[in-house]
Amino acid sequence: MACYELGLCTFRKTIARHEQVRARSRKLLLDNIRGERLGRLIDQGCMRCALNMLADLGVDGASVYEEDFEKCFLEDTRSFYRNESLSFLSQNSCPDYLERVELRLAEEMARVSNYLHVSTRSKLQLILEAELISAHASTLIERQDSGFYILLTHSEHRMRDLARMHNLFSQVPATLGLLRDALYMHVRTVGQSLVNDESKAEQPVEFLHCLLNLKKKYDGVVSDAFNGETIAQKRLKEAFESFINADTRCVSCLVIYVDELMKAGFKGAKEGEVEEELGNVLAIFRYLQDKDIFEALYKQHLAKRLLNRRSASFEAERQMLAKLKGECGYRYTTKLEGMFTDIKFSKDATMKYCSSSLGENHNNKPTIACDLDVTMLTAGYWPMQSLVPCILPSCAVVATELFKDFYLKEHSGRKLTWVTSCGSAELKVSISETARYELAVSTYQMCILALFNNRRIDDVLLFQDIARTTRIPESELKRHLISLCTPKHRILKKSAKGKSVAKTDTFQINTAFSPRLKRIRVPLVAMKEVSSHPHHHVPIAVEEDRRHLCEATVVRIMKARKHSSHNDLIAEVTRQLHQRFFPQPHFIKKSIESLIEREYLERCDHDARMYTYLA
């Protein structure tokens, strides 16, 4: 052994570890540290020398620094911080506690640089993280007055505290996981209470605004407090998906929200505004599981807008379609685009028709042709159910037949059916010298009122007769009749009092009706929606669509693979369909069984879990 080392060993044995030195010096060292932690100024240089000395004495296999100092130091540190954190937390708010933790952590790291041996650093770090952060993680998250949940609720003012919390918890990955879970739980709870809020149930637009605000708020939390980390973003997305898809009402609210924007909100809007709003809409759309229900509802509302000329901006409509196409592929939007093409084509065709009939009419007076404004709908694109048209009054029949002849001359071989459930008419009413006015009514209402032509003024018509002559479906007939008998627009008198129409009722012209305005639009009474909308209401048409799609997908997969196990098939079908809607395994099974029965597939003889494609 070298001389120097021998000297160290001797020093160690005789002095440093002398029974009257060892314990005392350790106690002094620890007391100093404790004092400094409590705010006292100590001689750091002296500390450094002493501890370096202990480290140097660790030769020849002995570990003096660890045994004579570090072990006790770490235990001391642990109990010190255990106590301090408990008492501080019990008397202070969570954000204040976290601020203190930050300070303490910095202080201890400085201590390492100043006089502790560098090897202590990681061990010290572990203890600090355990006692200051891990031990209190759930309290910090859940405490009712100032915990994480509360900070989230007031995130606008508490961003710094949230960021600090994230920063500290990031040092202990297990607690960071707790924090992310808490974020998920909180957003989910807040979202669920919004969705279940009955007062918002009647106000789709307001509901959407609240939803968008929610998204903005928590997007902010993730970007500012969570540093935009991808895992937090993912949890946020999961939270939104969980409560939005718990109730299909969200789908219809989104559709109505867009409807309002297209009808009114986008009037006079600048291009940037439209882009931003639609971007918001798409952000919510992405969370939807039942994208096919959205498509069906959107189509219905779009049809109404296009037919009633309610779109404030075609440009905005097109932009929305483009966004949907970008999100879901071109097949999602072909029918919607077809509707636009129909509208444009109809405009051109109507103009052509009007000018051609003017050409034939040598009086140069406006002809009956120009009184008719026709929109041609390609049957496959529009959501109308094909009902049998009602019987139109004779004046209307003349006009419609003329148009039909003109159209079929150019497009022979096509079949035209008038959609009498839609459409409107302008009627000029003259009952007497004083009672003259104009009415804007629906097609059905026109049919009803036209029946009173060429009769005595006080003639009475039976409900049954009206039904028989016009062939309007009964429930619609009731609705359109009621609209003509409301207190505000009592154009007809109903025999029996009350809000509803009975089959035995009779109707008469109300000669006393004298409107203030010359031209009145007669509003339709709203249909009583079946209000027993369960939370997972899937429209029948969509349900059928899903069945067809699922079966077609199974067939396509089996045709390619020839054989497949049950689980693989379920997984692949889900993979192919889930962008549009989520197919439950039970739902897929039904499709499989139906295909087995129709002999598209069969089960393998030797393995009931395998299917084989039957060519």
Partner 1 sequence: FLDNAEFRPFFKFCFEFNREGTKRFLERDTALALLPLCIEDRSKHTLNFLEFLETKPEDFKINRDQWCSFLDFSLAVGPAPEFDGWDSEESSWPILIDEYVEFVQEKLKET
Residues that bind partner 1 (CB under 8 A): 565-567, 585-586, 589-590, 593, 596-597, 603, 608-609
Measured from the CB atom, is 256 or 596 closer to partner 1?
Answer: 596
From CA 326, how far away is CA 333, in angstroms rounded? 10
Characterize the bridge pairing of strands 436-442 and 519-521: parallel
Measured from the CB atom, is 19 or 597 closer to partner 1?
Answer: 597
Residue 522: how many other CB atoms lie within 10 Å: 19
Q: Which helix (H) or strand (E) holds 564?
A: strand 563-565
Measured from the CB atom, is 359 or 585 closer to partner 1?
Answer: 585
Tell me the closest approach of the beta carbon of residue 605 to partner 1, in angstroms: 8
Tell me the closest approach of the beta carbon of residue 564 to partner 1, in angstroms: 11
Measured from the CB atom, is 455 or 598 closer to partner 1?
Answer: 598
Measured from the CB atom, is 520 or 557 closer to partner 1?
Answer: 557
From CA 586, how far away is CA 582, in angstroms rounded? 11
For 440, phi then psi, to 5°, come to -105, 115
Tell me the closest approach of the beta carbon of residue 322 to partner 1, in angstroms: 41
Extract the tokens encoding 248: 């299909």
Expressed in percent and rounded to 5, the helix, strand and coil fractions of the chain are 65, 5, 30
Measured from the CB atom, is 34 or 566 closer to partner 1?
Answer: 566
Measured from the CB atom, is 514 or 567 closer to partner 1?
Answer: 567
Tell me the closest approach of the beta carbon of residue 567 to partner 1, in angstroms: 6
Extract the tokens encoding 66: 């660890």
DSSP string, 308-376: TT--S-HHHHHHHHHHHHHHH-HHHHHHHHHHHHHHHHHHHHHHHHHHHHHHH-TT-SPPGGGG-----
Query: What residues pair up with 460 in beta bridges, in sequence order?
Result: 508
Tell me the closest approach of the beta carbon of residue 599 to partner 1, in angstroms: 9
CB distance 117 to 51 below 8 Å: yes
Residue 532: how many other CB atoms lie within 10 Å: 6
Measured from the CB atom, is 66 or 551 closer to partner 1?
Answer: 551
Question: Three-state DSSP class for 429?
Answer: strand
Tell me the closest approach of the beta carbon of residue 469 to partner 1, in angstroms: 42
Query: What residues pair up with 424 in beta bridges, in sequence order?
Result: 442
Tell me the closest approach of the beta carbon of residue 590 to partner 1, in angstroms: 7
Measured from the CB atom, is 448 or 570 closer to partner 1?
Answer: 570
For 372, phi then psi, to 5°, come to -105, 130
Measured from the CB atom, is 431 or 571 closer to partner 1?
Answer: 571
Tell me the closest approach of the beta carbon of residue 549 to partner 1, in angstroms: 19
Question: What Cα–Cα distance (Å) separates residue 334 from each residue in 282, 294, 330?
Answer: 18, 15, 6
Tell me the closest approach of the beta carbon of residue 563 to partner 1, in angstroms: 13
Measured from the CB atom, is 155 or 574 closer to partner 1?
Answer: 574
Tell me the closest approach of the beta carbon of residue 579 to partner 1, in angstroms: 23
Tell me the closest approach of the beta carbon of residue 600 to partner 1, in angstroms: 12
Question: Three-state DSSP class for 19?
Answer: coil
How far from each other are the two terminal CA atoms of the chain, in whole angstroms?
89
Tell me the closest approach of the beta carbon of residue 587 to partner 1, in angstroms: 10
Orientation of helix 22-37 relative to helix 94-114, angle to 10°: 140
Torsion sign across C-alpha atoms 304, 309, 314, 316: negative
CB distance 470 to 448 below 8 Å: yes
Question: What Cα–Cα distance (Å) separates residue 536 from each residue in 176, 313, 463?
Answer: 35, 33, 38
Measured from the CB atom, is 318 or 589 closer to partner 1?
Answer: 589
Measured from the CB atom, is 28 or 604 closer to partner 1?
Answer: 604
Measured from the CB atom, is 217 or 603 closer to partner 1?
Answer: 603
Characterize the bridge pairing of strands 601-603 and 563-565: unpaired
Residue 415: how many other CB atoms lie within 10 Å: 6
Tell me the closest approach of the beta carbon of residue 584 to partner 1, in angstroms: 12
CB distance 22 to 71 below 8 Å: no
To which residue do tokens 């007076």 refer?
365
Helices vs strands, H then E, count in the chain: 26, 9
Measured from the CB atom, is 17 or 566 closer to partner 1?
Answer: 566
User: What's the DSSP call for residue 14?
Assistant: I
From CA 319, how far away is CA 45, in angstroms rounded? 71
Tell me the closest approach of the beta carbon of residue 585 to partner 1, in angstroms: 8
Tell me the closest approach of the beta carbon of residue 598 to partner 1, in angstroms: 9
Torsion sign across C-alpha atoms 451, 455, 456, 460: negative
From CA 410, how far away is CA 423, in angstroms rounded? 24
Extract the tokens encoding 207: 């509901």
